[in-house]
Structures are given as structure tokens and as C-alpha cells.
Structure 1
């Protein structure tokens, strides 16, 4: 739906423009390489691989939770089960 005016896109999906812009501000630039989600992943200076793996797991769980919330919000806004 790229290229549609924002007002038309919102009307088509039953969104208010305010909600659209709020979601766009929060998730519009999300990318898998985004440092906000991946900055703590990687081995630590002390070489503790188990601790680094635990940190990576925690970060991935937070990322999955964020994506699940975003998905739920979009489904709710679009009226999908």
C-alpha cells in the first residue's frame, strides 16, 4: 500500500492518523540490524560464553515480545482475530 496518502490508508484500515503516526514513530524504523535491539549481543570482554549466551537470549526474548505486541496491536486495529 505504499504511495497511498496517510489519510486514505488510515481510513481503509480504520485507524486514526494519530495512532498511525504513533505506531510509525515507534516501529517505522525497526530493522533486524537495529542497534537498539542488538547492541548487547555478543561475547563479553571476559570471554564468558555462557553469560553472553544468556544476555543474547534475554535480548531476543525482549525483541520477540516487542514484535508480538506490535503484531497484536496491528491485528486489533485491523480487526483480525
Structure 2
């Protein structure tokens, strides 16, 4: 997946600007983003504060780490199931 050139903090600040004063078209033009990108951000980050966004990122990283661990364990189990019957 491509890394965004905006951090979560920057995205939340952009979203807050639209709520405050500016129009969506002006914000998109100013930051060189598409309308669809803005609305995806709004769907994902609406209502979040900066601290909540940081916590969300940490939770996503932890979730990815745990998924990798589970996948490695599943591979170990498959290998052991193939090896054990040969010795019994």
C-alpha cells in the first residue's frame, strides 16, 4: 500500500478547516488532493482528535504485528502436522 504524504495529524487539521470556514473544493485545490481522497479521509477520520488518531495508528500497528505472529504460528502448526505422522 502506498504511504500517504500526509500524516494523520495533518489530515485531521485539514478536515477541521473545512468544518470551520473553507469549502471542500478550496481545501482540495490548496493541498493538491482529489475530492475522493478528501471524502475517504472524512469517512475514516471524522470526529477524531489528534490523540485519538495517534492511538488508532498504534492499535493498527499492534494488530498487524499480532496477525503476523498468528500467521507464523499457523505455518509452524502445518509443518509439525506433516512431520509428526512420519515418525509415528
TM-score bracket for the superposition, by shorter chain length: 0.3 to 0.5
Q: TM-score, normalised by structure 2?
A: 0.36
Q: TM-score, normalised by structure 1?
A: 0.39
- Bigger relative contact order (CA 8 A; separation at least 6): 2
Q: Give the number of the structure whose residues are more often helix, by fraction.
A: 2
Larger radius of gyration: 2
